[in-house]
């Protein structure tokens, strides 16, 4: 289908099943919520709590919570890819400068407030994290704030996207060319992980470094290309809910059994992680059952709305509370200890979102608003991508 017909195609109808107030999407916020709960579970769960119900709830995070980052990557690539591609369709160009400034105003305020607090009140010397994270090279230079490695991967990917996408946009048949490049990235990243493993590269470097992990983001952008340029094909893909449910379950079982260590885990394991994340995204995308199961999905979506602040602050908040409460230890997995960890992480994440992220986003809309043409052309997605 031509770009013109794709642009003129009316956006898919949005129903109360998938839409929320303030331009947010319930289904995509649920994906974010699942991703952040997986990440919290990986960092907070250290064994049996002695409570069978709590252990069952914590089992996904304990066994495959590390893959929550890959789910974030796939969703981020999908949403940002759609914004870039729809801007190009609507305007015939892509403003890389505007894109970069908007990303900076989305990500930096919460991050730099966190770094400032760490420098003043954190347990580690500022020399072990401040300049590394400020320059977004922490996944290569090392950092004592280990969970922030994923932010560097995203920043590197979107910087390259902002620089290189205009080159693709000027070429005839650019969607197919972009698909080819993205598929090459998927293959190259896996090949690099295999090569790195044979050379004895550490598993931490294989997990952290951009050139080993960029395929998860590229997979999300690949979905975005299909959804924007070949929407009928994408709609047919989305309708295969049972297939995506089966792939999600099979992928989750594989990740739980293999993990991210060893030859398979540190190479093909990350490929399985983003394929599972993509299947889960397709399973929930515009699915009516998401809105009908609000008893389950509404709390998960609420987590998703505050996921960025929660992710940045969760370890510092949880450690601070555990250290302040007599009788609690970080390795403790009792219901009280777990409630303290999760409660602190979520509470501080909500505060960071309300006091820092949302005001920064309002400032962003005043300083560098989205082009009107892109706003008119884009089908409704979360406005704070």
42-61 residue pLDDT tens? 999 988 888 888 889 999 99
How remote is the C-alpha of 154 from its chain's centroid? Answer: 9
User: pLDDT at position 91, please?
Assistant: 81
Choice between 35 and 14, residue whose per-residue pLDDT is larger? 35
User: pLDDT at position 23, please?
Assistant: 62
The answer, yes or no, to whether residue 5 has pLDDT greater than 50, is no
Nearest to 251 by CA among 385, 116, 64: 64
Mean pLDDT confidence for 196-213: 96
The answer, yes or no, to whether residue 228 has pLDDT greater than 90, is yes
Mean pLDDT confidence for 284-295: 94
The answer to whether the CB of 360 falls within 8 A of the CB of 71 is: no
**pLDDT confidence of 376, banded at 50, 70, 90?**
very low
Mean pLDDT confidence for 147-157: 96
Name the pTM for this structure.
Answer: 0.90
What's the burial of 184, exposed, middle or buried (CB within 10 Å: 0-12/13-18/19+)?
A: exposed
Mean pLDDT confidence for 209-219: 97
User: pLDDT at position 6, please?
Assistant: 33
User: pLDDT at position 156, please?
Assistant: 96
Nearest to 178 by CA among 102, 287, 77: 77
User: pLDDT at position 298, please?
Assistant: 95
The answer, yes or no, to whether residue 379 has pLDDT greater than 60, is no
The answer, yes or no, to whether residue 384 has pLDDT greater than 80, is no
**Backbone phi, psi, residue 13, to 5°:** -65, 140
| Cα R_g (the chain), whole angstroms | 20
The answer to whether the CB of 380 falls within 8 A of the CB of 23 is: yes
The answer, yes or no, to whether residue 292 has pLDDT greater than 50, is yes
The answer, yes or no, to whether residue 307 has pLDDT greater than 70, is yes
Among 69-73, 166-170, 254-258, which is the least confidently predicted range?
166-170
Beta strands in 113-160 (DSSP E): none
Nearest to 220 by CA among 26, 16, 381: 381
User: pLDDT at position 176, please?
Assistant: 87
pLDDT in tens, 77-131: 999 999 999 988 888 888 888 999 999 999 999 999 999 999 999 999 999 999 9
* Alpha-carbon span 86 to 90, nearest angstrom: 6
| % of the chain with per-residue pLDDT over 90 | 76
Mean pLDDT confidence for 324-329: 91
Choice between 215 and 21, residue whose per-residue pLDDT is larger? 215
* Alpha-carbon span 201 to 152, nearest angstrom: 19
Mean pLDDT confidence for 21-29: 80
| Residue 19, SS3 per DSSP | strand
The pLDDT mean for the chain works out to 89
């Amino acid at each position: 289908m031509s770009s013109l017909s794709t642009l003129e195609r009316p956006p898919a109808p949005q129903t109360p099943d998938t839409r929320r107030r303030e331009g947010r999407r319930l289904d995509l916020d649920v994906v974010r919520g699942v991703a952040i709960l997986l990440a919290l579970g990986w960092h907070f769960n250290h064994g049996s709590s002695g409570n069978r119900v709590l252990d069952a709830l914590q089992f996904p995070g304990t066994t495959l919570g590390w893959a929550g980052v890959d789910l974030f990557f796939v969703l981020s690539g999908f949403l940002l890819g759609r914004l870039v591609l729809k801007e190009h369709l609507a305007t015939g160009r892509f403003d890389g400068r505007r894109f970069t400034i908007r990303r900076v105003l989305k990500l930096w305020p919460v991050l730099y407030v966190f770094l400032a607090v760490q420098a003043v009140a954190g347990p580690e010397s500022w020399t072990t994290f401040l300049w590394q994270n400020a320059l977004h090279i922490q996944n290569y230079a090392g950092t004592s704030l280990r969970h922030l490695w994923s932010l560097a991967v995203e920043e590197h990917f979107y910087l390259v996207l902002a620089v290189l996408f205009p080159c693709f946009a000027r070429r005839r048949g650019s969607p197919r060319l972009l698909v080819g490049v993205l598929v090459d990235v998927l293959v190259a990243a896996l090949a690099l992980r295999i090569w790195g493993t044979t050379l004895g590269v550490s598993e931490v470097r294989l997990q952290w470094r951009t050139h080993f992990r960029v395929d998860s983001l590229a997979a999300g952008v690949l979905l975005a290309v299909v959804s924007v340029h070949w929407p009928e094909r994408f709609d047919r893909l989305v309708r295969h809910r049972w297939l995506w449910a089966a792939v999600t379950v099979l992928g989750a079982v594989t990740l739980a059994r293999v993990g991210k260590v060893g030859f398979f885990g540190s190479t093909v394991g990350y490929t399985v992680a983003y394929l599972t994340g993509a299947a889960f995204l397709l399973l929930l995308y515009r699915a009516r059952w998401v809105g009908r199961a609000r008893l389950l999905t509404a709390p998960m979506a609420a987590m998703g709305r505050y996921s960025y602040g929660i992710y940045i602050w969760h370890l510092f908040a949880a450690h601070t509370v555990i250290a302040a409460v007599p009788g609690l230890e970080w390795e403790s997995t009792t219901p009280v200890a777990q409630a303290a960890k999760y409660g602190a992480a979520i509470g501080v994440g909500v505060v960071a979102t309300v006091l820092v992220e949302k005001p920064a986003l309002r400032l962003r809309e005043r300083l560098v608003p989205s082009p009107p043409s892109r706003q008119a052309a884009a089908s409704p997605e979360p406005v704070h991508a």
